[in-house]
Structure 1
């Protein structure tokens, strides 16, 4: 039997007061509720990386493609490269910042290149209107990194409110809007890219 694929659900925002971990956690929990043995899903929080603004001397696309990790100048880049290489696919859960994606996500994507190539990627956006303006920007970036993007997307609406009550209200709204089924369908589409390779 083939080894289970390793999928990262990426927490894209890094600001201290953020709802991103909750939203990404919800996405991961829905996926993990699916009875399946073909993929292992875990959260990847960009805030834990502490990557400075991109400052590698070499352009990432110019390092050797077969083993890029040791060719980066900084240890934090080598660590990030190794982490990206660990995963077979990605689900990016991102807010909309000024009609685009957070700088933290763009910066993390820019640090490496070959490590992303050929891997499937799905997009989940969120915001008071679903964060839909972020999706086309992120899709273009991922395509530029030669990732295989899932055509389907999921947009989750968030609300304001007191901690605890806010999360409860969002969960209720998402379930009412059929978000769970949309997330499951998105995940199935991501897995289908692996099946197409076999």
Structure 2
């Protein structure tokens, strides 16, 4: 069964390494038959949060925000690709995410983190769990942590070396977990309307 999955990436740095992981995930999910789409916060270019999407009168949100809101509403699941900045959440990804709220509700979210070091963004990965849960998503228990990213994926997002082999081994379980929760959430939404 094909799922519509948004792979959401938030680095604004000029020498972005995490895009390798985002591209890898889109490719691997697509190979499994999912309709995976990269949502690149830098490319979309939403401003620093002033007004949430829901705070605009109907039809008056900026075009990029309106288009993204529709993609979020149509998605079956989300995969957040996050770097770690000073032990915390990546600001560009958080800013994009905060523009929306109800649009995220009642769908599963997965987290894949990365860093230049051996901790692989694990602290950011952990911090995202509470944030995404608060925003109405069911965060799956499986995660991916990738680091050092430059020793795991090449510039085209292809696995390299032993770290790349480890990522390939971990991806299957991660994707299976996301697929299970995606199907469960779709079935429940079809059976019964969300409570609010």
Q: Deviations over 1:132-151 (max 9, x none)?
A: 01012111110010101110
Instruction: Check if 1:152 corresponds to 2:142.
Output: yes
Instruction: Check if 1:138 corresponds to 2:135.
Output: no
Report the 3-state secondary structure (helix = DSSP H, G, I; strand = E; otherwise coil) of the residue aligned with 1:81: helix
Instruction: Check if 1:174 corresponds to 2:163.
Output: yes
Cα distance in 1 for residues equivalent to 2:44 and 2:53 = 20
* Structure 1 gaps, min length 5: none
TM-score if structure 1 supplies the norm length? 0.80
The structure 2 residue matched to 1:186, chosen from 155, 158, 174, is 174
- Report the counterpart of residue 113 of structure 1 in structure 2: 101
CA contact (8 A) 1:95 1:131 kept: yes
The structure 2 residue matched to 1:42, chosen from 27, 37, 48, is 37
* Structure 2 gaps, min length 5: 188-196
Instruction: Check if 1:53 corresponds to 2:43.
Output: no
Within a 5 Å distance, the mapping from 1:52-131 to structure 2 comes to 52-56=47-51, 60=54, 70=58, 73-127=61-115, 128-129=117-118, 130-131=120-121
Q: CA deviation at 1:40?
A: 1.4
Cα distance in 2 for residues equivalent to 1:168 and 1:48 = 18
How many pairs does the alignment contain? 183
Cα distance in 1 for residues equivalent to 2:27 and 2:83 = 19
- Report the counterpart of residue 13 of structure 1 in structure 2: 11
Report the 3-state secondary structure (helix = DSSP H, G, I; strand = E; otherwise coil) of the residue aligned with 1:115: helix
Instruction: Give the CA RMSD over aligned residues.
Output: 2.8
Cα distance in 1 for residues equivalent to 2:6 and 2:158 = 26
